[in-house]
Chain A
Amino acid sequence: MSNTNPPDSGDTAWQEYLTGGGASAGAAAAGGEGAAPPEGPAAPHRVIGTPPPAAARTMLPASGDGGARPPARELPPDPDDPVRARKAEFVVVACFLLAMLAGLGFLVAYGLIGVGSVTATLHSNLALGLTLAAALLLLAIGAVVWVRHLMPTVELTEQRHPMASDAKDKRAFKETWEEGAETSQFVKRPIVRRSLIAATVPLGIAPLFLLRDLGPLPGTSLDTTVWRKGLRLMTYGTNPPRPITPAEFSSPGGLISVGPEGYLDDDDAMAKAAVIIIKFRPGELQFAPGWRPVANKVVQNWTVDNIVAYSKICTHVGCPAALYEQTTHHILCPCHQSTFDATQGARVIFGPATRPLPQLPIGIDSQGFLIATGGFAVPVGPSFWERS
C-alpha cells in the first residue's frame, strides 16, 4: 500500500509509521528524503516511548520484501462447523451478559448492604465476594469458550527479531536526551540542580534511621529471668495467686503452674519466668550429688520434699511444655513433641529440643512457703548464639 501513496508529506509520514522500513522505498519515490531523518518533513523525530518502526510490524510479509514468500492467508476465516459455532456464540454471549448482571449485582450489593454491624459486614463481604467472583469467572469462561470454539486452532510460527535498537533510534534518543538536558536548564543553572539534590538527600537517608527500630539489642536480658532468691512460688491462673506449702502440694503425681511473686500479671516477665512444679514419690527422682547441675540428674539441694521446679518454656522454640504424664514422668511439649524425663533433670529423651528444661532452685521460707533460692543457673527457653 505504501507504493501507492500520494506525494503528500503528512500522509507519507503516517504511512511510514505504519509499515516501517518497508516504506522507505515509497518515501524515496515520493520525495527522496526518507534516508535523512533530521531534515525532511516526511521523517519526523520519533517520540520516545512510541513503538519502533520495525520492519515486520504485521505477521504478513511486507510487500517490499521482494516477494520471497507469497502472502498467503494462513488462518481459516470461519469455524468448520457453523452449528457448533452458533451454540458457542450463544454460550459466550450468555456468559458475558450474566457477568454484566453479576457486576451490576456487585454495585447494588455495595449500595444496599451496609457495614454497620458485624452481621451486616459479613453479609456485605459475602455478597460483594460472590458477585465479583461470579462476574470475573463468567468473563473468563466466556473468553475461554470464545477462544476454543470460535477462533481457529492453528499453530502459528512467528520469527524472532533482534531486540536491540538500531543506530538511527539510538542517535535519536541521544539527541532527545541532550536536548532535554539543555532546554530544562538543568546544566546551565547549577544552583537549582544542587538545591534539588540537597532536598532529596535527607529523604534518602531517612530509611537508614528506621533501622534503629530493629533494636535495641537484647543485651543480657535473655540470660536471666525475674526469679531471684526469696521470691515465693505463686499459683498461676488462680485469682488471687496463692503461695504454696509442701504440705499442701503433697499428692505424688501432682503438678501445678507457678510464677514469681509480684510478676504474675507482668506478661513480659512471665514469658520467661513460667515454671511448673511436680511432686514425686520418694525414690523416683535420680539425684546428682552436690550443689551444681549434672547432666541428666536432678540437683537434690534445689528440691524440697521431692518437689522439683522446671522452666515451663521449651528449650526448642519456647512453647509452654506442660503436658505431664505422672505414670511415665514425661514432660511433653505440644508444639514439636520434645519429651523430657522429669526424674532425670528433664533431660531430652525425644524430639528436637537439645537442652534439658532448666531446673529452678527452690527452698522454704520462714513461714513454710515454697520460694526460689536463686535464679535459673542457665538461660531458659530456646538456645541462642550468645548463650553463655
Chain B
Amino acid sequence: MSWITARRRHPAATYAVLAFVLVLIGVGYAVVTTGGAATAAPQATASAAQIAEGHQLFEESCSSCHGIFAEGVSGQAPSLIGVGAAAVDFQVGTGRMPLAENSAEADRKTVRFTKAQIAALAAYIQSLGGGPPIPSAAQVNPGAGNYGLGQQLFVADCAACHNFVGAGGALTYGKYAPPLTASTPTQIYEAMLTGPEAMPVFNDLTITPQQKRDIIAYVTQVRSQPNPGGFSLGRVGPVTEGLVAFLGLLLFLVLAALWITAKHGKAHE
C-alpha cells in the first residue's frame, strides 16, 4: 500500500487509474456477455389421446392469453386457429411460449414442456384448423442440402436481418432478428414456414423444401467455419479488439508524450 500512497499524486496516476478501470470494464463485459443453450425438437404424430392431452395443456397454460378456444384476444395474443403444428413446435420448442412478459421480442429461453407435451399441444392446435405441419427429419436433414446454393438464397432473403452467418441483428422499436446459432434444423425450417413474430413467411411454394434444406445446410455448416475470434460483430472479424487496441495504444502514446516532455523537477528547482 505504501507503494500506492507514494505514487497516487504522480502526474500519471489519473491516467493509469483510468486505463485500469477501462480495461477492467471491457474484460468484465466480455465475460458476462457469453452464453447460449440448445434444445431438441420433437416429432408429431397425432392421435386422439394426444389431442386430448394437448387440449388440457392448452387450457392450463395458454388459454389465459390466447382464449379458451384459441380464438385470440384482440391486442393481447393472436388467434392460433390455422397456425399449424409447426408454429407451436417452434414457439414452445424454443421456449418463447409461454411468454414471460409483454416485450418487443420474445426471447429464446428454457423450454417449459417435455417433448411429448409439445407434441400433444402441436397436435391439438393442428386439429383446430390445420396449417403447416412439423417437417419430417428427412425434410430438414442438412446433409441432403447444398450449402453453396443455400448461401446464395440466404444472402438474398435472410442475411438482411439475420447477418450473413446468422449472427442476428437489430430491427425497429426493440425488436431484433435472433441469432441462428442455437437453432435446430427443424426450428429453422419451421421459422421459414410460419414466420414467427416480425419474420416474413417463406412458404414451400416460394422457397421449395429442397431450397429450405439448402438454407439449413448453410446455416448449420457455417457455424463450423474458422472464426477469427473475439467480439467479432458477426464474423466481420476482431474489429472491436482492434479498435480497443488502437485506442489503448493511442492513450499509451499520449501518456508517453506527456512523460517525455514533463518537467523533470528533481534537481534544478
* A residues adjacent to B (C-beta < 8 A): 80-81, 144, 147-148, 152-154, 235-239, 244, 247-257, 278-279, 320, 322-328, 330, 332, 334, 337, 339, 350
**B160's contact among A80, A248, A249, A334, by CB below 8 Å, is which?**
A334
How many Å lie between the Cα of A320 and that of B161 in the bound state?
A: 11
**Nearest CB in chain B: distance from A307 CB, A:** 11
The minimal Cβ–Cβ distance linking A88 to chain B, given in whole angstroms, is 12
User: Given A148-B260, A238-B211, A244-B206, A327–B197 Cβ distance below 8 Å?
Assistant: yes
CB-CB nearest in chain B for A143:
B260
> Of B153, B200, B264, which is within 8 A of A324 by CB?
B200
A-B contact count (CB 8 A): 95
Contact A153 B207 (CB under 8 A): no
Is B25 interfacial (CB-CB < 8 Å)?
Answer: no
A253 to B169, CA, bound (A): 20
A326 — which chain B residues lie within 8 A by C-beta?
195, 198-201
Nearest-CB distance from B212 to chain A (Å)? Answer: 11
Q: Is the CB of A251 within 8 A of B201?
A: yes
In angstroms, how far is the closest chain B Cβ from the Cβ of A243? 12
Cross-chain contact B205 with A249 (CB below 8 angstroms): yes
Chain B positions within 8 Å of A144 at CB level: 260
Chain B: number of interface residues, binned into ranges: 20 to 34
Nearest-neighbour CB distance to chain A for B140, whole angstroms, equals 19
Known A327-B197, A328-B172; judge A255-B205 contact (CB<8 A).
no
Which of chain B's residues have a CB closer than 8 A to the CB of A324? 200
Decide if the interface of chain B is mainly helix, strand, loop or mixed. loop
Report the bound CA distance from A255 to B156 in whole Å: 11
For A279, list chain B residues within 8 Å (CB).
201
Interface residues of B in 102-154 (CB under 8 A from A): 149, 152-154
Asked if B7 is an interface residue, CB under 8 A from chain A, the answer is no
B9 adjacent to chain A (CB < 8 Å): no
Q: Is the CB of B156 within 8 A of A327?
A: no
CA distance A374 to B158 in the complex (A): 28
Q: In the complex the two chains form, is B172's CB within 8 Å of A154's CB? A: no
A237 touches B155 (CB 8 A): yes
Write out the residue numbers on chain A whose beta carbons fall within 8 Å of the beta carbon of B171.
323, 325, 330, 332
Query: Are A322 and B203 interface neighbours, CB within 8 A?
Result: no
List the 8 shortest-distance A-B pairs measured between CB atoms, nearest first: A237-B156, A248-B205, A325-B198, A255-B200, A322-B160, A251-B201, A251-B203, A237-B153
Q: Decide if B156 touches A153 in the complex (CB within 8 Å).
A: no
CA A110 – CA B111 in complex, angstroms?
A: 58
Distance (Å) between the CB of A270 and the closest chain B CB? Answer: 11
